[in-house]
Structure 1
Amino acid sequence: MAKGKKPIPSLVKDQKLVKRRREQMIEAAVSLFIEKGFHKTTTREIASKAGFSIGTLYEYIESKEDVLYLVCDAIHQELEDRIQQAIQEEEQGIDSLQAAIQHFFQVMNDMQDRVLLIYQEAKSLPQDTLSYVLNKEVDITNIFEQVLQKGIDDGSIQLDPKEVKLMAHNIMVLAEMWVFRRWALAKAFTLEEFIEKQTSLIMNQIRSKKEASNVGSTSPS
């Protein structure tokens, strides 16, 4: 799990109110950052779009970088939560993996502008805060590592333990490909076709390893 979550100081002690105000702030900032970019957006614009004054805004954060941090954290948390929902009901690891892959690709499409926002603007965060944000990416990758390991444990997936981490990162990169290169890929594939083909590539690689292992185990000595 990501470590070192940054505490954002607030002058307001009511934590329910802090949560509600920051959620309003995040939604306002996301749309402005996507439209104008982090550097061209002012805290006054964020406050106005969120529906309160600039003075009120600074009761809940100390800087515009705090808002960007809250935005990145909220986006990553939504990604993580939506993937976890997709794999809770599946039993075998191989089924959980396929469901998680397909759902993750769909989620990345649904949230593509927000995902791009993280990659474009997170570099503006202080180094310690950036490290936390990057570790949230690792947390999402770890979900796929856990599903792969579940399949190894129940026998539905056969992978060298050294390949589990690489495969999990491959899944992440393939999903991000649609976000970063959809301008080109969408000319050749629908989203459904892209998901189907990429899922097949991943699953076929796992099946080929399993088949090769089975052949090896039945070969005469």
Structure 2
Amino acid sequence: MPSHSADADLTKRRRKQIVGAAVHLFSRKGYYRTTMQEIARRARMSAGLIYHYARTKEDVLLLALLHVINTYREQVPPALEGIDDPLARFRAVHAAFCRVVAENIDATVLVYRSTNSLPSEQRAIVKRGELETGEMIAQTIRDCMAAGLFRDLDVELATYQVLMNVHMWALKNWHLKTRFDVDAYIAESADLLVRGFASAEGLRRHLAGDGRPAASLKAIAKP
């Protein structure tokens, strides 16, 4: 969306302020009960200044919903650099997505809660972003299948299984955080996914520890 500022870095910083304020308020008060003036106050900018970076409250919501998607784009590819083994890449992409969610729990939940509040054109932007970033997971699944490490899977369905697993850390965090830290959740849930997707050879390699990160599998709290 256009900005009145010609300074790209300033626009990025200001929109980050706006997104942080909006996610906090939308998550606690709800989208419809939050005003642009409240978002501006929380973002520590004037009510007039906020309109230089987002024209409407729908624009602010779109920025907030795209925040997690854009963070996937920024953080996931570097997490895969230098990893050639297909099974290791699958585990790395799963872990990277989980860590983005862990850093953005309220924003992740907001995607589920408020996407339908957007006009159809803006909902389509969010959907396209989801499909684009989901392709990063899908490609690791295809690579594991090509290497004979995963069964013949419906790649789209398997990708959404992974995404739902990733998002569960946010959606059920109230309970899961009493049993796991993030590293333990990543290890345990990746184990479930690989066991479900693996071929006989993939399972053999998985159980042998091939491609597994050095993360504890132990839950941290209640047995």
SS in 2 for 1:40: coil
Instruction: Tell me, yes or no, if the aligned pair for 2:18 and 2:43 is still in contact at 8 Å.
Output: yes
Amino acid corresponding to residue 186 of structure 2 in structure 1: I
Pairs aligned (count): 203
Structure 1 position 157 matched with structure 2 position 149? yes
Amino acid corresponding to residue 45 of structure 2 in structure 1: F
Instruction: Tell me, yes or no, if the aligned pair for 2:93 and 2:136 is still in contact at 8 Å.
Output: no
Matched with 1:171 is 162
Matched with 1:60 is 53
Structure 1 position 138 matched with structure 2 position 142? no
Amino acid corresponding to residue 138 of structure 1 in structure 2: L
Structure 1 position 51 matched with structure 2 position 44? yes
Instruction: Tell me, yes or no, if the aligned pair for 2:149 and 2:199 is still in contact at 8 Å.
Output: no
Amino acid corresponding to residue 46 of structure 2 in structure 1: S
Structure 1 residues not aligned, in runs of 5+: 1-7, 213-221
Structure 2 residues not aligned, in runs of 5+: 204-223
Q: Which runs of 4+ in 1 moved over 6 A?
A: none
Matched with 1:218 is none
Cα 1:143–1:17, aligned 2, differ >3 Å: closer, same or farther? same
Shift of 1:210: 4.1
Instruction: Tell me, yes or no, if the aligned pair for 2:54 and 2:60 is still in contact at 8 Å.
Output: yes
SS in 1 for 2:172: helix
SS in 2 for 1:52: coil
Shift of 1:12: 3.6
Amino acid corresponding to residue 166 of structure 2 in structure 1: A
SS in 1 for 2:154: helix
Instruction: Tell me, yes or no, if the aligned pair for 1:122 and 1:130 is still in contact at 8 Å.
Output: yes
Matched with 1:5 is none
1:70 is aligned, of 31, 39, 63, to 63
CA deviation profile, 1:163-182 (whole Å, cap 9, x unmatched): 22221111111122222223
Cα 1:176–1:95, aligned 2, differ >3 Å: closer, same or farther? same
| Greater radius of gyration (CA) | 1
More helix by share: 1
* CA root-mean-square deviation: 2.4
How high is the TM-score relative to the length of structure 2? 0.79
How high is the TM-score relative to the length of structure 1? 0.79
Matches within 5 A, 1:17-36: 17-36=10-29
Cα 1:57–1:170, aligned 2, differ >3 Å: closer, same or farther? same
CA deviation profile, 1:151-191 (whole Å, cap 9, x unmatched): 334x253432x522221111111122222223334455454
Matched with 2:218 is none
